[in-house]
Amino acid sequence: NAGVMQNPRHLVRRRGQEARLRCSPMKGHSHVYWYRQLPEEGLKFMVYLQKENIIDESGMPKERFSAEFPKEGPSILRIQQVVRGDSAAYFCASSPGQVTDQPQHFGDGTRLSIL
Amino acid sequence: GESVGLHLPTLSVQEGDNSIINCAYSNSASDYFIWYKQESGKGPQFIIDIRSNMDKRQGQRVTVLLNKTVKHLSLQIAATQPGDSAVYFCAERGKLIFGQGTTLQVKP
């Protein structure tokens, strides 16, 4: 039973390029969450999605960042015109339903490096 | 705003000893808490959770205690092993507000 799958594990981009991070939730999970982790810090919530819907994007930067979770396929976190400050580990988590009293399960993250 | 935070950034224990990692939260309405363990290069791994209608919950070698009066929870690890070395986070439900982790170092 595969867990949350993220790819790529490592992504290198030059300033100004676009970064696309993918997340396939656990089987049976229809809710996806994205978090960002800077070195030596805790995870910071970015966005919460269900299939074809953004439920809460209060943690997303207002510009350059977007997320989607289409009916078919993985969830995508997209960062346009990347800057050095976007360098971080980006984690995806999934849960079977609306977060109530069920833990989220995390992938192993995508480490984004901006040159 | 809401926050959770761990008391110590680093905890060093001898192999075989018990470890206690503490966490404070600010939102008195919080009713569900989770402890995660994060090893280097990996994502957070669920350890144990507790609902606010409980004071204590036990797992395999781990116990979580919740004190709602002082808004404090702790994670106790019995007979700490080298494999327990990691960063530990407490989080409260919803959008999972993570505090700064506590790095547990286990000395052989």
Decide if pLDDT at A1 tops 60: no
Average model confidence (pLDDT) across chain B = 87
Quote the strand ranges of chain B, DSSP E. Answer: 4-6, 10-14, 19-25, 32-38, 45-51, 56-58, 62-67, 72-77, 86-92, 97-98, 102-107
Nearest chain A residue to B34 by CA: give it: A103
8 Å CB contact of A59 and B99: no
Mean pLDDT of A20-33: 94
B53 pLDDT band, cuts 50/70/90, is: very high
8 Å CB contact of A109 and B42: yes
Nearest chain A residue to B32 by CA: give it: A101
pLDDT of residue A99: 54
Decide if pLDDT at A102 tops 50: yes
Chain A CB within 8 Å of residue B41 CB: yes
- Residues 49-108 in B contacting A (C-alpha not used; CB under 8 Å): 49, 51, 89, 93-101
| CB nearest to A105's CB, from B42, B46, B49 | B46
Mean pLDDT of B16-42: 90
| CB nearest to A42's CB, from B32, B93, B100 | B100
Mean pLDDT of B27-32: 84
Decide if pLDDT at B58 tops 60: yes
8 Å CB contact of A43 and B94: no
Decide if pLDDT at B62 tops 80: yes
Decide if pLDDT at B3 tops 70: no
pLDDT in tens, A40-83: 778 899 999 999 899 999 999 999 999 999 999 999 999 999 99
pLDDT of residue B108: 87
Ranking A85-94, B5-14, B43-52 by mean pLDDT, the lowest is B5-14
Chain A CB within 8 Å of residue B42 CB: yes
CB pairs under 8 A between A and B: 55
- B106/A98: higher pLDDT: B106
Share of chain A above pLDDT 90, in %: 76
Mean pLDDT of B19-33: 88
Average model confidence (pLDDT) across chain A = 92
B100 pLDDT band, cuts 50/70/90, is: confident
